[in-house]
């Protein structure tokens, strides 16, 4: 006889196949922590969400700005220098897309002394979310507990 | 810098190891490394004249 909690535990250790892990990973990229939430890793999901979102909002509060490939502030810069920060920012998923649709946070505020720190926070928030998304994929395919 | 180190350490700790105690220790280690290396680099830059 297997209790409900044991059954959930066993279910958690079953590896997903097919499109499942990819969808979990995509969900984890879209909303930080959602991939882990779907895998029932409640604690990890909450920590991921709180950590990455805190980094994103602190970045904006410090005067950092989000990047686009064709934004008005980036026209004078080489494409090679414009793309990497966009890739990093894009890692945050939905928060970046919401800001893009609402046109929030894309204006450079270089006059603020903390703006470069803010940019770094915003880039690292996205990069950490890529790692979190890959972690959710690994858990989903059974590579990690 | 400390805030940055703390937030990165939290996420690294969660994804880096398998058990809770390992995660906690790894997070502390990453936090200490980020903070210490940041301080060392800051002092090195302080003494560089250019």
| Complex ipTM value | 0.81
Find chain A residues with C-beta within 8 A of B26's C-beta.
none
Confidence (pLDDT) at A71: 67
Confidence (pLDDT) at B26: 93
* C-beta atoms of B15 and A121 within 8 A: no
Q: Does A135 touch chain B (CB under 8 A)?
A: yes
Confidence (pLDDT) at B6: 93
Of B3, B10, B18, the CB nearest to A47: B10
By C-alpha distance, which of A13, A7, A8, A28 is closest to A137? A28
Do A105 and A137 contact (CB within 8 A), yes or no? Answer: no
CA-nearest residue of chain A to B4?
A: A121
CA–CA separation, B39 and B37 (whole Å): 5
What is the total residue count of chain B? 50
Confidence (pLDDT) at A98: 95
CB atoms within 10 A of CB A2: 9
* C-beta atoms of A128 and B8 within 8 A: yes
Could you give the percent of chain B with pLDDT greater than 70? 100
Confidence (pLDDT) at A9: 44
Do A85 and A123 contact (CB within 8 A), yes or no? Answer: yes
Confidence (pLDDT) at A15: 73
pLDDT tens string, chain A, 145 residues long: the values are: 444 544 444 445 567 777 788 999 999 999 999 999 999 999 999 999 999 999 999 999 999 999 888 766 666 677 788 889 999 999 999 999 999 999 888 888 888 888 999 999 999 999 999 999 999 999 999 888 8
Q: Does A55 touch chain B (CB under 8 A)?
A: yes
Q: Does A31 touch chain B (CB under 8 A)?
A: no
Q: What is the mean pLDDT of residues B9-37?
A: 91
* Sequential DSSP letters for B11-41: HHHHHH-SSHHHHHHHHHHHHHHHHHHHHHH
Reduced to 3 states, what is the DSSP secondary structure of residue A145? coil
Find chain A residues with C-beta within 8 A of B18's C-beta.
144-145
CA–CA separation, A129 and A92 (whole Å): 6
| A137 Cα distance to chain centroid | 14
* C-beta atoms of B14 and A52 within 8 A: no
Distance, in angstroms, between A96 CA and closest chain B CA? 19
Confidence (pLDDT) at A8: 45
* CA dist A78 → A60, A70, A73, A74, B3 (Å): 24, 11, 12, 8, 32
Read off the tokens for A57: 């909002």
Find chain A residues with C-beta within 8 A of B8's C-beta.
55, 124, 128
């Amino acid at each position: 006889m297997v209790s409900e909690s044991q059954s959930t535990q066993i279910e958690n250790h079953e590896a997903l196949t097919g499109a499942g892990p990819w969808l979990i990973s995509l969900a984890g990229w879209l909303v930080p922590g959602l991939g882990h939430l779907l895998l029932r890793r409640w604690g990890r999901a909450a920590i991921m969400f709180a950590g990455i979102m805190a980094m994103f909002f602190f970045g904006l509060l410090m005067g950092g700005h989000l990047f686009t490939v064709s934004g008005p502030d980036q026209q004078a810069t080489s494409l090679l220098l414009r793309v990497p920060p966009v890739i990093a920012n894009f890692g945050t998923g939905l928060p970046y897309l919401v800001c893009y649709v609402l046109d929030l946070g894309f204006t450079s505020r270089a006059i603020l002394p903390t703006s470069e720190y803010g940019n770094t926070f915003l880039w690292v928030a996205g990069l950490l979310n890529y790692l979190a998304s890959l972690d959710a994929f690994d858990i989903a395919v059974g590579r990690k507990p | 810098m400390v805030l940055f180190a703390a937030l990165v350490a939290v996420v690294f700790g969660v994804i880096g190891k398998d058990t809770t105690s390992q995660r906690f220790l790894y997070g502390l280690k990453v936090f200490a490394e980020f903070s210490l290396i940041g301080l060392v680099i800051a002092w090195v830059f302080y003494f560089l004249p250019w």
